[in-house]
Structure 1
Amino acid sequence: MNQRFLLEEIINKNFASKYKGSVLGIMWSVLKPLLIMIILTIIFSTLFGSKINNYPVYFLSGKCIYDFFNLGTTTAMNCLKNNQNILKQTPAPKHIFVLGGIFSEFINFIITLIILIVVMIVTKAHFFFTTIPFAILPIISLLMMIIGIGFILSILCVYYTDIQHLWSVFTLMLMYASAIFYPMDIIPEPYHSYMLLNPIFWVINQFRNFMLWGSWPNIITLINTILLSAIILVFGIIVFKKFEKKITIKF
């Protein structure tokens, strides 16, 4: 079977199944981030409004990055486990199922980016056309990171189901450590230094620099993020290739 065709079918299946049985269907991809943004803006803008210019855009720009990481890695983690019956019966390439899960969430991510642009227009945010195109750089870093981690998690989930619960706790902690809905400068030392070790915060901060603030982030940090993501991607591929032939035995 053609791998590209299989990948497209898996992406379509995953994307459609996410809204199966829902009255509004794909509209939830638009409504959910908007509703969350409105609720949290009402709650937190009173606390941080004076410190953060255009809080709705600030929040949504961080939330869309975090959600893609969270949903992308979580979906990838369950792809092999959820498709074990197919993998037992066919010689289909296993990595296609993981990539299909990630790219189906990437579609949701693109939808959220469109919502972000609409919110920027509605709130009359300034568009920095000299830097906005470079927002693709942290997105590429994020995608490489998700694919690498997704490959590793998909293998771990086959061997250790508990990883699903551990990962949900970890991503929840990561959300609060990524300065999504609060300004980073309210974090006191030494916690501030520890939180700066969070690569998802690096990606969010770089994305906000390009999209919201019209400035270049620290070049060294930008390069380090890309290099770290590339290392994670390569390591994930190596781990997946090493264990993928043994997966069927575990089912």
Structure 2
Amino acid sequence: MSITKKNHYNPCFWTAYWNHDYYHNHEYRKSANARNQKIQSLNLKGNKILPSKTEDVFFEKRMGLANVSENEVLDFENFFTTSENLIKEPLFSIIEKNEIDSLEEKTHISSFISDMILRHYKNFNGLIDDYNKKGKQKIELFIDLKNDYSTSDFHKAQIIPLLSSEWIIYQSKDFKFPLGDNPILMNDKNILFALSPKMLIRINYKKKVLPDTACVVKHKMNYFTYRNFMRRTIISSDREIIFNEVGVLEKWRKSKVYQKKQKN
């Protein structure tokens, strides 16, 4: 049985939407392989913009593998795949209609955000390190995660704080939002999250609302809000930032915040 040696912390079925044809052409999506979609990648380590494919970005080698014995390995990719399958269809629908208009859809996106925080390579590797410091093995973390994710209380604890905060949706008619290797941009006030190249979500912790409160929708974004998104994406990314167009990535590469990051 083959094992998964490359775990995509930003899954290909989602990042494929940063390809213009994949996003806009329903018939193309039905026949296309999400892993093979062409994108442009701003490689931060090489400081270059390179043509690439979705399967060749946003992955961590052997993140989902744990030794059971000297000759046996547990592949945890099925755990990630199971979580993905629960969110795929609602996620696709929200991206393609470019809006969030129900509590059910907010719940799906909250769950997706929670999963993305867990599976980011820095967070996941941090959990592994914590277990190792306690004298525990990686496989014990996998078992605990599987048990946690099988309980409704765990999911509620992850999702309700998001649902009870104000959501602002910035909608664009055109591709506007590149995707960095850490898509959940968190500070002490809010989360910024580019759900697609045309939709940015801001979740304000400081403003509490009823979970079923509708999202605030904005069709325009001022310079300072976009600048904040760009700044936080660049600062939070260490490997790559992807988009469909070289020109946008080149502007980001020439920005002061990017140049400062390269010097540090």
User: After TM superposition, is the score higher than 0.5?
Assistant: no
TM-score, structure 1 normalization: 0.29
Give the number of the structure whose residues are more often helix, by fraction. Answer: 1
TM-score, structure 2 normalization: 0.28
Structure number with greater CO (CA < 8 Å, separation at least 6) is: 1
Give the number of the structure whose residues are more often strand, by fraction. Answer: 2
